[in-house]
Structure 1
Amino acid sequence: MILVINYIILSILFSFILRTKKCLCQSNTEEKPTKFVMETYDENNELIERYQLNYNYDELFFDEYANLLFLTNIKYIIACSEEDIDKSENEKNTLLFWNTSTVTVFISTAIYVNAFPLWYNELKKTNEKPFCIRIDSVGWYDNAYADICKDDDDSIPCPDLIMIGSTQLAVRYLKDETISLNKYFRNYFLKNGKSLENLLTKYTYYDYYVDNNWLAAPVATDFRVFRFNMTTFNYCISEGYDLHYPPVK
């Protein structure tokens, strides 16, 4: 079985959130569910607590969002609409998403939980079964190196989505666990009239475009200040080394 490392769905989701807030706020919310449930589980797969969440479509946040940021010791969560949470697995589809969060830090998972209602409403338009999401905290190692999707071993998990860093994508690619996302890029253009490629930084092209195929799209990027030790440079220069302070002259 081949895993879809589907950054593109997440990218479109957050683009959808940021770019259509005004439209969403003005739309009729009467038919959109506002009550959701999130269950938290520990490392022994034991239920910790069931949270009742109320989504505000004007603010695009759960009313309880600030409280979610401080949760800890959570291995995974399951989020559903209130009317779906107690349905059997035969009556609903639960998407498995591996996040890079750790058991002790829940902040990044809370961000995805907060986006779930908008995603839920979009998928509800085209899916007969209700849609829930399970988000596992697997960390920055297992998300790239753990075995996944073995047809002959049901004990090995098969996530639908994995959050990985740009330097980790090559690991899954070389193990033949990625697919081309070209059609998603085309569909985004046809639906929105804008090229997704033009919204990405030039560095994305080198990180995620391999053999004429888009393998991923970034959800977030960061910029870090480069620092260097002047004392070390001064010592090396005094010893006769031909060094210069960055940038190199």
Structure 2
Amino acid sequence: MKKFIFHLYMFFIFRSCLCQINETSSIDYNELTKYTLDTYDKNNKATRYHLNYDFQNHLFKEYSDYKLAFLPNVQYAIICHENDIDKNDNEKKTMIFWNIATYEIFIATSIYLNAFPVWYIEQKKNGNTFCMRFDSVGWYNNGRADICKNETLPCPDLIILNTSQVTYRYFNDDTLNLNKYFRKYNKKYGKSFESLLNKYSYYEYRIDNNWLAVPISEDFRIFQFNLTTFNECKSKGYDLHYPPYQFFKRNNH
């Protein structure tokens, strides 16, 4: 049974990883800029796109031009190096990757495509031919659909989980314990991965003292409130207090 579930929080940042690869690898990157993406709609109709990877920006040029983000009607997509896309299944390994994107909105999937060349290079160094399939399964299926329990169920290799989805997958026995990978990082780099995280990331990805996910980046949102509504409610006698708000305080002293 395959069970590989990781979490990338909102946005995929892998520039530092790429820098390490670029510094240590003797691979000719000029030969690894051309990739092919086949997208499939609900009727399994395929459309092919040719992509060009920029190793300076670590993005597909077509992503930077916003062409990938707005591809229409994509149920799933398969990306390979251009030399591998038409090989038979027994000649290549295709990993299945689930995420919360929907059929109509490919933008949530498109960002992960930029990581594929990194994974491809790692596999190529090990002599493997590697492609990846991205399935847009939606929020519910991504977090709660039964997987891998028997041969009739889908069995993705990777699922990108939102923080609120990790706990359900854990108690449904769908996750891996990643403690040994965190220890390996400590041994290799001389510092713990935990020391790089803020307290929110630390507690969100550990259950029963088990690391269940690897937070790659963080997303901070600005909290807004309607000052007019607060004032109106206060004028009617409601005991309301403004949230902490430095701009409001600064302009009312």
Same fold? TM cut 0.5: yes
Q: Give the equivalent residue in structure 1 for 2:124.
A: 124
Q: Does 1:21 align with 2:19?
A: yes
Q: Give the equivalent residue in structure 2 for 1:59.
A: 57
Aligned length: 241
- Between 1:33-42 and 1:239-248, the stretch displaced more is 239-248
How is 1:157-176 mapped onto 2 (pairs within 5 angstroms)? 157-176=154-173
Distance 1:77 1:88 in 2: 17
Out of 200, 205, 210, the position equivalent to 2:207 is 210
Distance 1:167 1:238 in 2: 38
Identity %: 51
How is 1:105-116 mapped onto 2 (pairs within 5 angstroms)? 105-116=105-116
Q: Does 1:77 align with 2:74?
A: no
TM-score, normalised relative to structure 2: 0.82
Distance 1:58 1:204 in 2: 29
RMSD: 2.8
Q: Give the equivalent residue in structure 2 for 1:90.
A: 90
Deviation, structure 1 residue 124: 2.0
Q: Does 1:134 align with 2:127?
A: no
Distance 2:204 2:100 in 1: 19
Structure 2 contact 76–136 (Cα < 8 Å) conserved: yes
- After superposition, the C-alpha distances for 1:127-171 in whole angstroms (9 at most, x for unaligned) are x431110001112221101111122xx332111111111111111
Structure 2 contact 72–105 (Cα < 8 Å) conserved: yes
Q: Give the equivalent residue in structure 1 for 2:241.
A: 244
Deviation, structure 1 residue 28: 5.3
- After superposition, the C-alpha distances for 1:173-214 in whole angstroms (9 at most, x for unaligned) are 111111211112122233334422122221012211111110
Structure 2 segments unaligned to the other structure (5+ residues)? 246-253
- Between 1:157-166 and 1:182-191, the stretch displaced more is 182-191
Structure 1 contact 2–176 (Cα < 8 Å) conserved: no
Structure 2 contact 13–217 (Cα < 8 Å) conserved: no
Distance 2:174 2:158 in 1: 12
The DSSP-based 3-state class of the residue aligned with 2:218 is: coil
Structure 1 segments unaligned to the other structure (5+ residues)? none
Alpha-carbon distance change, 102 to 21 in structure 1, aligned in 2, over 3 angstroms: same
Distance 1:213 1:195 in 2: 15
TM-score, normalised relative to structure 1: 0.84
Distance 1:157 1:114 in 2: 25
- Between 1:184-193 and 1:107-116, the stretch displaced more is 184-193
Structure 1 contact 34–56 (Cα < 8 Å) conserved: yes
Letter in 2 for 1:60: H
Deviation, structure 1 residue 99: 1.4
